[in-house]
Amino acid sequence: MSRRLGLLGGTFDPPHLGHLVVAECARVELGLDEVRLLVAGEPWMKGATVTSAADRLRLAEAAVSGDRHLRVDDREVRRDGPTFTADTLVELRAEEPDAELFFVLGEDAAAGLPRWERVEEAFAKATFVVVTRPGHAAPAADVLPAAVVHLEVPQLEVSSTELRRRFGAGLATRYLVPDAVDAAVRELGLYGAAATAP
Ligand code: ATP
């Protein structure tokens, strides 16, 4: 049987439990051999990113540490210019000709699919998996270039935006991000977080 490789694209600013639950549910429920956090270099759909790619990579590495099914893929950070998933999927297909690729994204991110660069090309290279996210709905089938797989995951109302706010305001962050991410955020002095956890 061919290897089944899952890809969770994102800014990961910072990575949180929502991301890990999505990755784990996709792995188990779609029978994936591995899931990679694909850290975006220049996420052009998000406007300016405050945190450097190097720091976001470091946080992503912290998030997957200790999980043998998860790893970080840094190719989009190494590539110059805006991040287009189509380029990434073309590259991965060439590298792993026998693997089946699954590109996983939340309903909020999926709503932007019609605006993606070369979205048909991206859909030709991977199966797109749309996971449920609180406060969002799946995009209508007729705005997408091809069918997607829908996956229901436990609904965790956590986002990177909310985590940045919580770190900056000195609110609780433990259990919302892995301990290693919490420590790395404080060590790197990101989001105005205090050096030691409350
Ligand atoms: P932001 O606060 O800027 O919206 P984010 O929390 O969505 O950030 P990203 O790195 O942009 O973080 O997310 C990467 C992928 O993970 C996206 O496809 C997003 O939809 C999905 N995702 C993030 N958080 C959740 C969640 N709680 N439940 C389901 N999917 C999620």
Domains of the chain: 4-156 (3.40.50.620)
pLDDT over 70 (residue 90):
yes
The residue to mutate among 13, 50, 159, having the most atoms of ligand 1 within 8 angstroms of its beta carbon, is 159
Q: Is 159 in the pocket of ligand 1 (CB under 6 A)?
A: yes
Q: Return d(Cα 153, Cα 94) in angstroms, integer.
A: 31
Average model confidence (pLDDT) across the chain: 95
pLDDT tens readout for residues 183-193: 999 999 999 99
Mean pLDDT within 53-64: 97
Q: Return d(Cα 101, Cα 88) in angstroms, integer.
A: 11
What pLDDT sits at residue 48?
A: 66
Query: For 180, which DSSP code?
Result: H
Q: Is 19 in the pocket of ligand 1 (CB under 6 A)?
A: yes
CA-angle at 86, arms to 38 and 73, nearest 5°: 20
Q: Return d(Cα 19, Cα 94) in angstroms, integer.
A: 27
pLDDT over 90 (residue 43):
no
Mean pLDDT within 129-150: 94
pLDDT over 70 (residue 133):
yes
Q: Is 51 in the pocket of ligand 1 (CB under 6 A)?
A: no
* 197 residue type, one letter: A
pLDDT band at 42 (very low <50, low <70, confident <90, very high): confident
Name the token pair of 19. Answer: 């991301």
Q: Return d(Cα 7, Cα 104) in angstroms, integer.
A: 6
Helix and strand counts by DSSP (H, E) for the chain: 8, 6
C-alpha dist (Å) from residue 83 to 89, 97, 135, 153, 193: 11, 22, 26, 26, 28
Percent of the chain past pLDDT 70, that is, above it, reads 96
pLDDT over 80 (residue 1):
no
